[in-house]
A and B are shown apart, each in its own frame.
Chain A
Amino acid sequence: MFENSGLSMDQAPPIVVVLRFFLTGSIFGIVASFMLFFYGKSVTNFSSAQALALTHTLTLGVMASFMFGALYQMLPVLCGVAIKEPETLALRVNYALILGTIFLSISFFTANLILYILAALSLAYALFTSSYVMIKKLKTISHSSSSRGMLLSLISLVFVAILGLLLLSLRGGFNINIDYLALKSAHFSFGLFGWIALLIISVSFQVIEMFYVTPPYNKRYANYLPQIIITLLFINLFSAIFAPAILNIVEYIIILLVALHAGLTLIKLKQKKRAVTDATILFWAFGMSSYILFAFFYTLSQFITIPTTIVVTLFAYFALSIVFAMSYKIVPFLVWFHLNAKGYFEVPMMHEIAHPKYARVNLYFFITSFILLILANFITIFWQIGSISLLISFFMLFFILYSAIKKYFHILNTGKRFEFNMPKI
């Protein structure tokens, strides 16, 4: 409860903190699309430098940028956690993440020790600093299911980073007595299901009900699901090292639990009270459907041969879809809200910042790229056509972010202001 408690806009980070991360993420999305265009079929070999570079451009460059931006925004607003000097910290983390992603992606091709070290240092700074500050803050609050899930997701990120750095050390030639494949599997599980899926689940607990006026998730379910997933991830980590035989079973339970949540979210979206369906709801629905298909094809792949690229593409589109959904929902709101909070008269309406029709066209390009990239497993030329469609999707997102920033600063520099507590005549 708040009662004139000194709560102020200082609680929320400056808008540039969030938009800078989002802009970075969309630029890396454009870069990843170009990589996919030029690498084509070679990304289907997951040990190839091309596949590793593309995977890390997507997970670090795109996903981590958007997720950090969203966390800097959501922690104060949803959890009441204020990060000290967010602008300085976010700027440093942003630069370190950009450099780390570039160094790492290049290092897969060159196997250059200096690049490995530079990548390790930059990424360690970006991931550990942000995680440490956020975890420290989140440990002090009384938790909602959403904030608890975010905390566990950040803990997973720390493990992803530690395991990733160990893998990098092995690639760099350092002799560590750890099984490379077990390490890789644990890095993969903590990254996909701990960091990415758990964060999406935690965010969904809060935003699905709030944004779309759906029935809330069951409280006990929302409280325990993230805890069960993180516990299973640790069991998974130990079984990767000590009991590889049960590794697949534990991982499969995690996959099914996330699929359960995806199904439940689809049901909630179907139960929303408003009849209007905008592009952000469709992005959420598409993302959740993509995850269910991922779980289905993963299961199927245990019995029949299915191109692994299909399974990976389904997971990637699950995560990216939520990125688009959240960006189209958050960015117009942030511009509108921050200008209102600063007391400007002529604030553009949210649909003037990102028109719903524009978002819908973006959704169509995004879905088209998904279909084409799935088909690319059978018809090679679709790698290129699909990546062009993905490129357009990310470019559209970049353009909306860029024009939102431009509009924001234009009004900030030229607009007239009012005071809420101006005396009334």
Chain B
Amino acid sequence: MKNSPYALEMQGVPYALEMRGITKRFPGVLANDNVNFAVKRGEIHALLGENGAGKSTLMNMVNGLYRPDEGQILLDGKSIKFSSPRDAIDNGVGMVHQHFMLVPTQTVSENLILGQKTPRFYINYKKLEQDIADLSQKFGLAVEPNAKIWQLSVGEQQRVEILKMLYQGAKLLIMDEPTAVLTPQEVTDLFKTLREMTATGHTIIFISHKLDEVVEIADRVTVLRRGRVESTVDGKSTSKAELARLMVGREVLFRIQKKPANPTAAALVIDHVSCENDRGLPSLRDLSLTVRSGEVVGIAGVAGNGQTELAQVIAGLRQATSGAVIVQGQNVTNQPATATIDQGLAYIPADRNGVGSSPNLNLADNLILKSYRQPPIGQGWRIDLRLVRAQAEQLIEQFDVKTPNVDLPARLLSGGNLQKLILAREISRQPKVIIAVYPVRGLDVGAIESIHQMLIDERDRGAGILLISEDLDELLSLSDRIVVLFEGQIVGEVPPDDDLINEIGLMMAGTKVEQSHAT
């Protein structure tokens, strides 16, 4: 009876929250399908699922933003129907959103009282700030009451969000991917805070797609997949592998399986290139690098050491002040981006929404952004729309982009699906060189796995791939060799060997290491 939501209730102890048979439809999407979900008082209950699995939708119904099409929601055993977030707050349900619901130009105190009934008219700021200071002390959440939100770090802003919920008397706290924006130190602090809160009788629902965290913090875990509850398991006795399997619906490879690389001729040559960053300061400094067909070259480095600029110079989006960029034997230095595209260069930029796609164009239009100029899509001055559509439908099928149709504006896609769309566009042109910048940042395990597989398949087809990433695991898993970038220069090259993590770390910090490992 472990998974029955009714077991405890039969013993007379109502759940803090219980959802029975919840179904929610959006145009073209079944977001939640007959979901049964129950949370005990005083526990940290993780709600795990891939992007688009329906976690946020489910919780937005508890929070009063949406109403279920079918089903019943019980709070402490009482059936409730919230028509607005206000209702939810009045009943002790608070939600900390992934994107903070704080007014940046206002102070901490002002944000805390925004939804309150008191003070009725005149705000006595002196007294208010004293009250807030007392409250933050009481819960051990240190914040400066008269600091403006925009002045605070992300971790501090999150503390304000939590404090806001507690100030409003929340007993059940829903946290939507709270760690997505935090540094590791801030995550540790957050977990400590959450533990303290459950000790004082608060209940926490922790929405996440990160397995490590869920295993670490959750008392129980409910896994959602495609809008349905897959299972509810005990947080202490479960494992990463089990959760990943439940979440994705099959065994997940944390390390990609690949054959040894078979590099051939040079596909991309970067020859003594220098450039400036956006502020006009030197970025790349006399950098030389060769990527051969059929290999993945990983670029490791702390963000801001020239990675973005390197990718932009190659893609023709930034002027090189000296040196040359040669793609497939053709010098494309400081040529327009179309020149590199015509040379068979694919670019997967870090900014998916701004550079990688056009958010308001639909999926079909986004898919032809690089192929509309040539036949068969471009027919002189006109575009073969029928072919565009047919090709889009085929690519979406082939690359498993989850969408109701190809007319959807690209901005409505989740991160993982958008990235698959971008890869579909780039890979379908059979590129000779691929520049991939943070290709899986912010994505969940399922999407990461399939995107990594796509890149490796391209390598095996014979493309030369330049992979820029902050994630050493990703670099070690995909790369055939890793070069480390520091202050616009290459400070070392190593084979992708797990034992060399420390050396890579040292090089990323700027230490020159004897290149004994270089192949």
Answer yes or no: do A and B interact: no
A: residues with CB less than 8 A from B are: none
B: residues with CB less than 8 A from A are: none
